[in-house]
């Protein structure tokens, strides 16, 4: 609705519309004028022909009167015939002038119509050439825009491809870095565990080395129970019991 209103109120468009209407009116007026001039020419031609006929008749009458025997009456007839012939000759001259003017007007009108037609043809040709050039220019602009859009799309696609490849490489590098870090951490943990084990082993070995060495002496099977007997002997004075008599060998004196 707004576009229609803008178009209606556009002064250039309004003047172009008026120009088209005036051009059409001018063409019709030229045609009407040419038709009128042609009619006037035909009328003038007819009038000139009639005047020529009358002039010829008057001249013939004059010649006939002149051929008669010269008498006072003949002289008067000659004078009257000459006057009539002169009048018809003047009428013919006037008719010829009107005819010449009509012919000139028709010729001028035809020339004007021809010139106007030539101008209209040139204008139409120029307008067609201009429209063709504008269409060609618009086509070239559309092709350029299409090429630019295609180039931009290709550039965007390439950028996306590069970004994808870059992201892929970055992901691969990150994965490799993470893997290397994990491997390094595992190796470090393994080394730490190994060091801790070695340290623990060394500490245990050191602790073992600090303890006094116990010498083992081989004793007879009977002598192994001696400490028990000694303990029993030590407890005897506390009970104040008489020493028991042993069979066999006598007990050794202290």
How would CATH label the architecture of 10-154? Orthogonal Bundle (1.10)
Task: Give the integer Cα–Cα distance in Å for 229 and 223.
Answer: 10
Residue where the block lists tokens 């870090």: 181
Contact (CB, 8 A) for 75 and 106: no
Give the Cα-Cα-Cα angle 37, 38, 40 (nearest 5 degrees).
Answer: 60
The pLDDT of residue 248: 53
Residue 207: C-alpha distances to residues 99, 214, 230 (Å): 156, 15, 35
Contact (CB, 8 A) for 71 and 13: no
Name the residue ranges covered by the structural domains of the chain: 10-154
The pLDDT of residue 177: 87
Q: In sequence order, which residues have a C-beta less than 8 Å from that of residue 62 and are 6 or more positions away?
A: 78, 81, 82, 84, 85
Residue 50: C-alpha distances to residues 8, 43, 44, 102, 170 (Å): 59, 11, 10, 16, 113
Is the dihedral angle over the CA atoms 84, 90, 91, 96 positive or is it negative?
A: positive
Count Cβ atoms below 10 Å from residue 56 Cβ, excluding itself.
14
What does the pLDDT profile of the chain (254 residues) look like in tens digits?
A: 555 555 557 899 999 899 999 989 998 999 999 999 999 999 999 999 999 999 999 999 999 999 988 899 999 999 999 999 999 999 999 999 999 999 999 999 999 989 988 998 999 999 999 999 999 999 999 999 999 999 999 999 999 998 988 888 888 888 888 898 899 899 889 988 988 888 888 888 888 887 665 555 555 555 455 555 554 445 555 555 555 555 555 555 44
Contact (CB, 8 A) for 82 and 112: no
Residue where the block lists tokens 């992901």: 171
Give the Cα-Cα-Cα angle 57, 59, 62 (nearest 5 degrees).
Answer: 110
């Amino acid at each position: 609705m707004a576009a229609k209103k803008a178009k209606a109120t556009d002064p250039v468009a309004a003047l172009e519309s008026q120009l088209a209407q005036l051009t059409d009116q001018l063409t019709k007026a030229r045609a009407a004028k040419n038709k009128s001039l042609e009619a006037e020419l035909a009328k003038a031609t007819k009038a000139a022909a009639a005047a020529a006929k009358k002039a010829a008749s008057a001249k013939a009458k004059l010649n006939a009167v002149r051929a008669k025997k010269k008498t006072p009456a003949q002289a008067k007839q000659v004078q009257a015939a000459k006057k009539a012939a002169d009048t018809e000759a003047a009428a013919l001259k006037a008719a010829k002038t009107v005819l010449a003017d009509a012919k000139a007007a028709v010729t001028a009108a035809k020339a004007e119509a021809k010139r106007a037609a030539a101008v209209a043809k040139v204008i139409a040709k120029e307008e067609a050439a201009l429209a063709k050039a504008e269409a060609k220019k618009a086509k070239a602009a559309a092709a350029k825009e299409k090429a630019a859009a295609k180039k931009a799309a290709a550039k965007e696609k390439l950028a996306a491809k590069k970004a994808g490849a870059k992201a892929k490489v970055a992901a691969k590098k990150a994965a490799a870095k993470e893997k290397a870090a994990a491997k390094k951490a595992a190796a470090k943990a393994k080394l730490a565990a190994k060091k801790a084990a070695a340290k623990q082993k060394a500490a245990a070995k050191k602790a073992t080395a600090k303890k006094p060495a116990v010498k083992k002496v081989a004793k007879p099977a009977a002598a192994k129970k001696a400490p028990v007997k000694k303990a029993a002997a030590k407890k005897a004075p506390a009970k104040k019991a008489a020493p028991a008599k042993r069979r066999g060998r006598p007990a050794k004196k202290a």
